Structure 1
Amino acid sequence: MRMIPALGAALFATVAVPASASDSQGPFQIKVLGSAVLTDGKITRVETDAVGLPATLQTKSNDNLVPTIAIEYFLNDALSVETICCLTQHDVDATTGLPGAELVADAKVIPATVTLKYHFPLGAAKPYVGAGPTYFLWVDSKPGAATVPLGVTRQSLSDELGLALQAGVDLAVNDRGLGFTLDAKRYFIDTTARWYAGQTVVIQTRHKLDPWVLSAGLAWRF
């Protein structure tokens, strides 16, 4: 992790150089991607337990495949800022203690992410690395089927701020800005899950999310 501050310093050192007016491809790039969202979801801490959960209880959230749009602005040939737009849905099931029990159903999250990217000039193939903040905004979640018999009436997941690291490569297809792109992001972020009986929290657990997001698709720079 000591390399991250040094990389950040190198990236910010180039930010003062504006996008070149002679850049025939223009400063904007849009990517249309298919993304595999590979989540963790394990419990790191049980904070409230009014129902007598098994001591061996552990959980896993399911993976998902979603469409993603990325919008990127090039500050210069080497440095860009990128944001993504997607909505991904997950269930959380027990893996031990209550194997197969559904604890959270249809949890939907918007992973609002902005990364600062450095591009290596290697001709038609341009690998890059990046890093930036992410904010996981949970827009919906429901109690899993296994929690309803316990009297649970409502379930929530806390919105959280975290970090995203990124690496990938853009491959030019022609000289009109069309390209193919491969991208990998690793997120470092947690959430607090709460199950309610009426207005009372009967279960509260802390979960490690830390998803990998692996993407491939087309890019158009203009």
Structure 2
Amino acid sequence: MKLLFPIAAGMAATVAASPAYAEAGDVLVRTRAILVAPTENSSGIKPAFPNDEVSVSNSFAPELDFTYFVADHIGLELILATTKHNINGKGGLDPIGELADTWVLPPTLTLQYHFAPKAKVRPYVGVGINYTHFYNEDASNGLENAIGHTNVNLDDSLGYAVQAGLDVDITPRVFLNFDIKYIDIDTKAKLTTGNLVNRVNVSLDPIVAGVGVGMRF
């Protein structure tokens, strides 16, 4: 019986010293706090405001992601989050301020390469595909006071994503995560006011920076 105590202690020490590394078949689940910062570029709002553009606000939100390791160095990550953004007028539309707001749902799948999957500090890079769905678009009171009741619709987007990140062990299963992505998102907004239809092309192309914690299963 006395022999069991040093054996158990040795096993516990080995487990405690083991890194939260990932290998083929493992699943990592992370939760992050993210900043979505559009680097937008807009056309004019045609035909009514051809010389005026729009900007899109930053947004903070929680994010959940899942990574499945198909090999020791190769993972597939799916991120899930939704954010709300204000669409603001620029140029001659500055006095109106906010023109509309929208919710954005951008599920993104990346193929990752993990440089040191068995180390305690594990950098990775990724490249993948993004599909962005815009929903609950709503014209602002300021816009409707200026031009009348307006329906707003934004086209969904399909684009690419690139990524870099770092996992850092806290315990054998739990780790810190730092992650940054660039996502290609292009949309066309349609603003319908009575018989008048205005359109504006917007490249949102956000940088998504996140920090959070994860667990290996």
Shorter-chain TM-score: which interval? Answer: 0.7 to 0.9
Q: Which residue of 2 aligns with 1:32?
A: 31
Q: Which residue of 2 aligns with 1:141?
A: 137
Contact 2:25 2:71 (C-alpha < 8 Å) held by counterparts: no
CA distance in 1, matches of 2:183, 2:87: 18
Unaligned runs of 5+ in 2: 1-21
Q: Which residue of 2 aligns with 1:163?
A: 160
Contact 2:65 2:77 (C-alpha < 8 Å) held by counterparts: yes
1:109 and 2:113 aligned: no
Q: Which residue of 1 aligns with 2:18?
A: none
CA distance in 1, matches of 2:44, 2:49: 13
CA distance in 2, matches of 1:34, 1:115: 19
Q: Which residue of 2 aligns with 1:219?
A: 214
1:154 and 2:151 aligned: yes
Moved over 4 A (4+): 23-26
| Cα deviation 1:102-138 (Å, max 9, x = unaligned) | 4543300100110000000172111000011101101
CA distance in 1, matches of 2:84, 2:59: 7
Q: What is the TM-score when the length of structure 2 is the normalising length? A: 0.83
Range 100-109 or range 161-170, more displaced: 100-109
CA distance in 1, matches of 2:59, 2:107: 17
| Cα deviation 1:45-99 (Å, max 9, x = unaligned) | 54x31xx3262x1221110110000011011110000101111000111232221
Q: Higher strand share goes to which structure?
A: 1
CA distance in 2, matches of 1:201, 1:36: 35
Q: What is the TM-score when the length of structure 1 is the normalising length? A: 0.81
Q: Higher helix share goes to which structure?
A: 2
CA distance in 2, matches of 1:85, 1:24: 23
**Rg comparison, structure with higher value:** 2
